[in-house]
């Protein structure tokens, strides 16, 4: 049995990679490497065009299908967007919201992230809300202030009883796709800041229940440095999730 207070969670963010054929082959390869540890919750977030195909392969397995973003409205004139009911219909149980690439390249705001978190909960999806400071913000000593603003906005409308279903991913922007990571101690410190903010917003049970992931250049050879930190409950994995071997190695490490 895992000595951890919370069920560890490892989420794969495939970003804008893989058409349906390779996506299905990757997930089949991951499933062939079973048994995956039961003590770890695994979420796989393919691009939207592959959700249905990957979801069919995952059906009946404990792996949760997730989307990489969504709109907060259930329907409407929002060309190109997908809603929570559409994601549920495609088989999703989770959705990433507020990823730094969405914030940076597509103008996502703190306010929009808050609305998306609420919409996810309203439709039974687990939101994986991403927060993280950019390099210049860290160097200016603003990291904690940025994280505080992002977390408050993300969870402002969350009902107390929903907090144990909430997942926050701390992803320092300068660590994403760069091969550079935060130290385990610093990631743990920031995760502690996040947990205290959640406690202020939702009370002690919320702080105890919320799962906080680290993300940013997570690989099989550095994942343990993060997972041994008391405040870190798992990882959001980009590049290393595109290979079955490295992704499964990270999932297995989360069960140790």
Binding site for ligand PGA (CB under 6 A): 13, 171, 176-177, 215-218, 236-240
Backbone angles phi, psi at 169, to 5 degrees: -110, 120
Nearest approach in angstroms of CB 70 to ligand PGA is: 16
Does the annotation count 108 as an active-site position? Answer: no
Residue of 71, 99, 101, 108 marked active site = 99
Q: Before 138, cis peptide (omega within 30)? A: no
d(CA 45, CA 33): 18
Nearest approach in angstroms of CB 74 to ligand PGA is: 26
Does the annotation count 171 as an active-site position? Answer: yes
Name the residue whose CB lies closest to ligand PGA.
Answer: 238
Measured from the CB atom, is 121 or 214 closer to ligand PGA?
Answer: 214
Measured from the CB atom, is 118 or 217 closer to ligand PGA?
Answer: 217
Residue of 101, 108, 133, 171 marked active site = 171
Nearest approach in angstroms of CB 10 to ligand PGA is: 11
Measured from the CB atom, is 13 or 69 closer to ligand PGA?
Answer: 13
Nearest approach in angstroms of CB 182 to ligand PGA is: 11
Residue 152: count other Cβ atoms within 10 Å of its Cβ. Answer: 15
Measured from the CB atom, is 74 or 177 closer to ligand PGA?
Answer: 177
Residues marked active site are found at 99, 171
């Amino acid at each position: 049995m895992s000595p951890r207070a919370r069920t560890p969670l490892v989420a794969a963010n495939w970003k804008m990679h893989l058409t349906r054929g390779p996506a299905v082959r990757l997930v089949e390869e991951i499933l062939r490497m079973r048994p995956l540890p039961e003590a770890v919750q695994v979420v796989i977030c393919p691009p939207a065009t592959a959700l249905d195909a990957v979801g069919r392969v995952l059906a009946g397995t404990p792996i949760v299908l997730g989307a990489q973003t969504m709109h907060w409205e259930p329907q409407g004139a929002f060309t190109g967007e997908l809603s929570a009911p559409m994601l549920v219909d495609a088989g999703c149980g989770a959705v990433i919201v507020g990823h730094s690439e969405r914030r940076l390249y597509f103008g996502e705001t703190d306010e929009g992230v808050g609305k998306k978190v609420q919409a996810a909960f309203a439709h039974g999806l687990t939101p994986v809300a991403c927060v993280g400071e950019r390099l210049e913000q860290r160097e200016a000593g603003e990291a904690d202030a940025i994280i505080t603003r992002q977390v408050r906005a993300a969870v402002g409308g969350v009902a107390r009883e929903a907090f144990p279903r909430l997942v926050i991913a701390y992803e320092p922007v300068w660590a994403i796709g760069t091969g550079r990571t935060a130290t385990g101690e610093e990631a743990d410190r920031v995760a502690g800041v996040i947990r205290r903010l959640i406690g202020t917003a939702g009370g002690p049970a919320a702080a105890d229940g919320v799962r906080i992931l680290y993300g940013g250049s997570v690989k099989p050879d550095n994942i343990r440095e993060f997972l041994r930190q008391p405040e870190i409950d798992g990882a959001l994995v980009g590049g290393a999730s595109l290979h079955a071997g490295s992704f499964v190695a990270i999932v297995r490490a989360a069960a140790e």
